[in-house]
C-alpha cells in the first residue's frame, strides 16, 4: 500500500508548505508525521496516541522503532531541561570539516590576500569535480537550514 494513500485514509492532511509532512487534527488530537525516503518522525504531546499510531503503522508496514529522535538529516536533536528540544548541526559540520581535511585548519578573515587577481587559466582543473560539488551542496544545505529552539 502506498504511504500517502494510507495516511489519507487515516484522515491525515498534507502540509501546504512541506510535501513530506502530514498532519492529523481531529477532536483535539494532533499528530505530526514527517516521512523522508524510508525514515519517519512522529510527534505529538500524547505518548499513548503515538504508540497506538505506531501499532497501526506496524500492522501495514515493516517498522523498526528507533526510539526518541536524536539525529535526522544532519540535525542533532537533544531534549532541553526547560522543555522542548535543542537542534544543532555541530555533528554535521564537524563531519564536513573532517571529510574535507579542514578540521584543524586555522581561521582567516579572507581566503586570499587582498588584491589577488584570479583568472580562468590559473590552477589545475579538478580530475573529479563530484567531490567539490558534494562539498558545495553540504555548505548550501547548512546555509539553507534554519535551526531554532522549539518549545513543546
Is the same domain home to 25 and 37? Answer: yes
pLDDT in tens, the chain (152 residues): 566 667 767 778 888 888 888 888 877 778 888 888 878 888 877 778 778 888 888 888 888 878 888 888 888 888 877 777 788 888 999 999 999 999 998 888 887 888 888 898 888 888 889 989 999 999 998 888 766 555 54
Q: For the chain, how many structural domains are there in total?
A: 2
Is the same domain home to 84 and 149? Answer: yes
Residue 57 lies in a domain: yes
Residue 119 lies in a domain: no
Is the same domain home to 77 and 58? Answer: no
pLDDT value of position 84? 77
pLDDT value of position 4? 66
Is the same domain home to 86 and 45? Answer: no
Residue 26 lies in a domain: yes
pLDDT value of position 38? 77
Is the same domain home to 96 and 45? Answer: no
pLDDT value of position 113? 84
Is the same domain home to 98 and 83? Answer: yes
> Residue 77 phi/psi, 5° resolution?
-120, 120
Is the same domain home to 15 and 77? Answer: no
pLDDT value of position 97? 93
pLDDT value of position 143? 86
Is the same domain home to 59 and 80? Answer: no
Residue 111 lies in a domain: no
* Full residue range of the structural domain in which residue 149 is found: 68-106+125-152
Is the same domain home to 77 and 150? Answer: yes
Is the same domain home to 59 and 77? Answer: no
pLDDT value of position 147? 66
Is the same domain home to 96 and 76? Answer: yes
Amino acid at each position: 500500500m502506498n504511504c500517502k494513500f494510507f495516511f489519507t485514509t487515516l484522515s491525515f492532511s498534507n502540509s501546504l508548505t512541506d510535501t513530506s509532512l502530514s498532519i492529523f487534527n481531529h477532536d483535539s488530537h494532533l499528530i505530526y508525521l514527517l516521512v523522508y525516503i524510508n525514515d519517519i518522525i512522529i510527534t505529538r504531546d500524547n505518548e499513548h496516541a503515538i504508540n497506538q499510531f505506531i501499532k497501526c503503522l506496524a500492522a501495514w508496514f515493516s517498522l523498526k522503532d528507533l526510539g526518541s529522535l536524536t539525529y535526522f538529516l544532519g540535525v542533532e536533536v537533544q531534549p532541553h531541561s526547560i522543555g522542548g528540544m535543542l537542534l544543532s548541526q555541530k555533528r554535521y559540520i564537524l563531519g564536513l570539516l573532517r571529510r574535507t581535511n579542514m578540521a584543524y585548519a586555522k581561521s582567516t578573515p579572507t581566503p586570499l590576500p587582498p588584491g589577488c587577481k584570479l583568472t580562468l587559466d590559473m590552477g589545475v582543473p579538478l580530475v573529479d569535480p563530484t567531490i567539490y560539488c558534494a562539498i558545495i551542496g553540504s555548505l548550501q544545505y547548512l546555509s539553507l537550514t534554519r535551526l531554532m529552539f522549539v518549545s513543546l
